[in-house]
Each structure stands twice: as structure tokens, then as C-alpha cells.
Amino acid sequence: MIDDLSEEQIRRALQGISVPPQPQIMVDLQMEQVMPDPDLKVIARLISQDPGLSGSLLKVVNSPFFGLANRISSIQQAVNLLGVKRVINIINAQSIRSEMTDENIVNLNRFWDSAQDIAMTCMTLAKKIGCIEPDEAYALGLFHNCGIPLMLRRFPYYIEVMEESYSQAGQRIVDVENQRLNTNHAVVGYFTAKSWLLPKHLCEAIASHHNVEQIFTQDDYDPGLKNLLAILKMAEHICQAHRVLANQAVDHEWNAVGHEILEYVGLTEYDYENLEINCREMMVTGEGRYYQD
């Protein structure tokens, strides 16, 4: 797929967009993770050096989505409870916020709010449906639109393009971006995730997350990719990303493929509505930001 692009095609796709380097804390954590016997104390100490990431991890762990009986008050406790893989996935996902925030870019608050809500909802759906690991679902939810801040940095009028993209029925969201900008946020997000050494299957899901109609109406796609995208698209619809990101009343993408996604994961409309209610209730408890009809 995208791995088959030539250097010239990659250059055109990124056209002046600078992919930020992987944060040092992610490099250090990954080095510890590949050790024969990862040291949980070292991992906790690395995270504790960054107050922002420490606070984010504790907020995530103590959210209603994890359903812990007792509140976790230290990074060491969080690491011991969740284990290395899950903590590193959460920190990887949180790192993008600190690395990409630019005070000169307007309209980013709604992007970060939407990413956090979708990530939490992905994790909840993964726990209830069971088709992918919850921590991977969380990472995909938070990273899937990581190309948006970079597009905003490169194209000051990108919000206008994004609103137009989400308003169109009968074509992919990325088609409008390609027509107007000769690239799109899914491609930019893929290269960002790849440069940050995220797992290959998550990078591919990021690249494909607006190609869902084709993926769910054809049989020759990897079930692992379908599982990731099914969770993501259900979460986006529950969190009303079309409203939050693009100020659109109708979720054309879900209308086009929602039935196929629910059929694929074995849910009825009634089952999905109950999941939606459950996720919204937890978001209210966790001070989430849903936009109601």
C-alpha cells in the first residue's frame, strides 16, 4: 500500500509538511521495552520526569473507562497495574499532544478534545466487543487524525477544506483534500506514525481510516485491519467527530458504511445503541465532551 510509494511520491505527499521527530521519552521507553527483562521502575521514572505525560497517564488510568475500584495516585502504581505494553501505548499516544501543539494554530482545542474522546471510546468498545486489544484501540483513537495539526500548520485554510470534505456524500473525505491540497491528513498521519515507530498495523489503519467503504464491502482485506477500523468508526460516530471537527450535522461516512461495520462485528442496531448510551454515560462521568443533537 503506502509502503510501495516511491521517494518522489512521498515527497509530493508531504510537500513541505515537516513530520516532527519522535519525542525522546518514547525512544527511551522503547529501548527499555525491548530489553529481555524490562524494568518497571525505570519505566515509571522516565514517565515521572515529564509532568504533562504523568498527569495524562494518571487521568487515563483513573477514568471510568478502566473501572478501577481504587484511585491510582502514583506512576509506579499505574505501571505495575497496567504492564509495560499498555503503558507505553498510552504514553506514545499522549506524546503527540505535547509534540504537536502550536499556539499559533487556531481551532486545535476541538481536535485534541475529539481525539481524547474517540480514544477512550475505542478502548471501551474494544473491551466490550473483544476484537482488538484495548490499549491498541486507545492508541489508534488518539493517533488516527495526527495528520490534522500538521495539515493546519502547512495550510492555514485547512479547516475550511476539512468542513467541505465532511459535507460531501458519495465520496471519501480524503478525496476533497486530495483535490484541493494534493495530499490528505491520513497520508500525513501515516508517515508521522511510521516515523515514530508505531506498530505497522496501526500505521496502516491510520492510512486507511477514510477508505472504509471499500474495505468493508470487499473481501480481500486483512481481518486485523477491519477490526481496528470497525472500532474506530463506531467510536467516531458515537463521539460525533463530524460535528466536532467539521461542524457538519450528518455523518455521511457512517451512513455509507455503518450497516456493513455492524454486520461485520456481529452487532444489531439495538446492541450498538446500547453501547453508544453506555459510552456517553462514561464520558459524562469522566468530563468528556460529546456534542448532542
Name all domains of the chain by residue range, CATH numbers in brackets. 20-100 (no CATH), 103-293 (1.10.3210.10)
- What is the distance, to the nearest Å, from the Cα of residue 241 to the centroid of all Cα atoms in its chain? 12
Of the two residues 107 and 189, the one the predictor is more confident about is 189
Helix (H) or strand (E) holding 109: helix 108-129
- Please give the pLDDT value at position 292: 41
Give residue 197's pLDDT band: very low, low, confident or very high (50, 70, 90).
Answer: confident
C-alpha 68/C-alpha 293 separation (Å) is: 31
Instruction: Give the model's confidence band at 293: pLDDT under 50 very low, under 70 low, under 90 confident, else very high.
Output: very low
State whether residue 200 is helix, strand or coil: helix
Radius of gyration of the CA atoms of the chain, in A: 18
Please choose, from the candidates 229, 228, 251, the residue with its C-alpha nearest in 3D space to the C-alpha of residue 239.
Answer: 251
- Give the pLDDT confidence score for residue 291 in this predicted structure: 39
pLDDT at residue 203 tops 80: yes
Of all residues in the chain, the percent with pLDDT exceeding 70 is 86
How far apart are the C-alpha atoms of 165 and 103, rounded to whole Å?
25
Residue 102: pLDDT above 60?
no
- For residues 263 and 5, which has the higher predicted lDDT (pLDDT)? 263
pTM, two decimals, is 0.83
Spell 110-134 as b/e; 16+ CB within 10 A means b.
bbbbbbbbbbbbbbbbbeebebbeb
